[in-house]
Amino acid sequence: MINIKTINVGLLGIGTVGGGTFKVLQRNAAEISRRAGCPIHISVVADRNLALIQEVTGGTCRMTDDAFSVVADPEVDVVIELIGGYGVAKDLVMAAIAHGKHVVTANKALLAVHGNEIFAAAQAKGVIVAFEAAVAGGIPIIKAVREGLAANRIEWIAGIINGTTNFILSEMRDKGLSFATVLKEAQRLGYAEADPTFDVEGVDAAHKITLLASMAFGMPVQFDKAHIEGISTLQATDIEYAEQLGYRIKLLGITKRTAEGVELRVHPTLIPTKRLIANVEGAMNAVLVQGDAVGSTLYYGKGAGAEPTASAVIADLVDISRMHTAAQENRVPHLAFQADQLVGLPILSIDEVVTSYYLRLRVQDKSGVLAEITRILAEANVSIDAMIQKEPSEGEEQADLVLLTHQTREKNINAVIAQIEALAVVDGKVVKLRMETLG
C-alpha cells in the first residue's frame, strides 16, 4: 500500500480569514483530502493572541506567538500568510521561501508592491507562491485567468473588486444618501474598516487589478503606474443623473491592452444598466474578462468574508498538494506566463486613455449658454451623445447641465473642461466621470 504523506501547514494569523480557513479545512477534511490526494493538516498556528488560537482550534494543533519559528520549522511543508500589510508579512514570506516552503497568501497589497521580488525568489528556490484569495475573495478569478483562459489573447478585464465601495454605491443609489452617511452605516455593519482609506480611495482595487493585468498580459506587476481614484468625492446627484441616462456608477478596476500600451486604472465608472455587471449590488464582487476566442466571461460572488476567502486559500492548498512534486517547468507559472517570457509592456498615463465621459456643469440660466459650450466641444472634435438640461429651482439662477460624450482622449477632455470652466456663465468646477460600455 502506498504511504500518502500528510501536507503539514503552518498558519500565520488566526483572525477572520485564518479562523475561517481552519474551520472549513476541519469541516470538509475528507472531501478536501479526496480532491488533493493526501490529507492536509494545519499542524501549527502563529498569532500574538494565543487565547484566540486556543478558542478557534480547540487545542488541536501547536500554538505559538513566534511566526518566524513556523517558517523555519522543518516539519512544515506549506506556510499560509494571513497577517496582511507590507512589513512583517513580506519578511515572513521571504523567509518561508528561503527555507524551501510553499506559500499561500491572501495579501494583495504585498504582491502588488513586492510581487516581482517574491515571485523571483520563489522561482529561484523552486517553490510555489499561490494567491487565489488575494483577488475577489471566493471567486476563482486567478485560476480562470491563469489557466481556464490560457487559449485566449485577453483583451481587457473590468471588475467590481472591492465589496466596501460597491455596498456604499448601492446604498447611495437606492436611498439617495450622501457618501459620508452611507460610509458610517457601512462601518456600523462591518463592511468598512475604522480607517476605510484603502477601500474608498481605490487602493485595494488597484492592488487587485494590478495582479490581474500581469496575468492577463504576461508582464511584471507595476502597481506604481496604476491610475487610482476613489469614491469619497462622488455625489448622490451624479448617481441619480446617471440612472436617468440609463447608467449605473461602479468603482471599477480596468486593464486593457491597446496598440499604444496597457491601461491600468481604478475609478468610478458609468456602465449601461443593461450590462450584468452593472446590476451587481451590495458587497458582492464581479469580474468581466474579454478574450479573443471565448468573448466575454463574467465571474460573480462574495469578494470577502471568512469562509468565501477561506475557500480560495484551501483551493491553493489543494493545488500545491497536487503540484509540489512536479518539476518546476511543469507547474502553472505564478503570473500565468513562463517567468522568462514576461515582457515589460508600457503602462499608459491616464492622459492617453481613450473613453467616453459624463460631464456635469452648473450653468447660469441664460440664452446662448448651451451654444457656447457646444462650440468649445465641437472645436475640440468632442461630440455629444446625450444631454440633460435641468430647469433651475425656484429662486435660483443656475441649473445643472449634464452631457455624455463620445470617445475622446483624456487630455483632450481635460483641455475642453478648462475652457468651459473659464466661461463666465459656468459656476464652479465641472464634474467629470469616465464611461465604459463593456460591450
**The pLDDT of residue 394:** 77
Please, are residues 11 and 45 in contact by the beta-carbon 8 Å criterion? yes
* Cβ count within 10 A of residue 419: 16
Asked whether the beta carbons of 401 and 390 are under 8 A apart, the reply is yes
Domains and CATH numbers, the chain: 7-139+306-338 (3.40.50.720), 141-302 (3.30.360.10), 354-435 (3.30.70.260)
Q: What does residue 159 show for φ and ψ, rounded to 5 degrees?
A: -140, 140
By the 8 A CB rule, do 239 and 270 touch? no
Which pLDDT score, from 0 to 100, does residue 439 have?
A: 84
**Per residue in 39-62, pLDDT tens?**
999 999 999 999 999 999 999 999
Report pLDDT for 397.
83
Task: Identify any residues that bridge with 78 across adjacent strands, giving them in sequence order.
Answer: 9, 102
Residue pLDDT, tens place only, 201-247: 999 999 999 999 999 999 999 999 999 999 999 999 999 999 999 99
Q: pLDDT per position in the chain (439 positions), as tens? A: 334 689 999 999 999 999 999 999 999 999 999 999 999 999 999 999 999 999 999 999 999 999 999 999 999 999 999 999 999 999 999 999 999 999 999 999 999 999 999 999 999 999 999 999 999 999 999 999 999 999 999 999 999 999 999 999 999 999 999 999 999 999 998 889 999 999 999 999 999 999 999 999 999 999 999 999 999 999 999 999 999 999 999 999 999 999 999 999 999 999 999 999 999 999 999 999 999 999 999 999 999 899 999 999 999 999 999 988 788 888 999 999 999 999 999 999 999 999 999 999 999 988 889 999 999 999 999 999 999 988 887 778 889 999 999 999 999 999 999 999 999 999 999 999 999 999 8
Active site residues: 208
- Rounded to whole angstroms, how far apart are CA atoms 153 and 176? 41
> Angle 88-98/108-125 helices, nearest 10 degrees?
20
Q: Are strands 102-105 and 247-257 parallel, antiparallel or unpaired?
A: unpaired
User: How far, in Å, CA of 223 to CA of 319, rounded?
Assistant: 27
Q: What is the pLDDT of residue 1?
A: 30
74, with CB counted inside 10 A (0-12, 13-18, 19+), is: exposed
SS3 track for the chain: CCCCCCEEEEEECCCHHHHHHHHHHHHCHHHHHHHHCCCEEEEEEECCCHHHHHHHHCCCCEEECCHHHHHCCCCCCEEEECCCCCCHHHHHHHHHHHCCCEEEECCHHHHHHHHHHHHHHHHHHCCCEECHHHCCCCCCHHHHHHHHCCCCCEEEEEEECCHHHHHHHHHHHHHCCCHHHHHHHHHHHCCCCCCCHHHHCCHHHHHHHHHHHHHHHCCCCCHHHCEECCCCCCCHHHHHHHHHCCEEEEEEEEEEECCCCEEEEEEEEEEECCCHHHHCCCCEEEEEEEECCCEEEEEEEECCCHHHHHHHHHHHHHHHHHHCCCCHHHCCCCCCCCHHHCCCCCECCHHHCEEEEEEEEEEECCCCHHHHHHHHHHHCCCCEEEEEECCCCCCCCEEEEEEEECCEEHHHHHHHHHHHHCCCCEEEEEEEEEECCCC
Model confidence pLDDT, tens digit, residues 3-34: 468 999 999 999 999 999 999 999 999 999 99
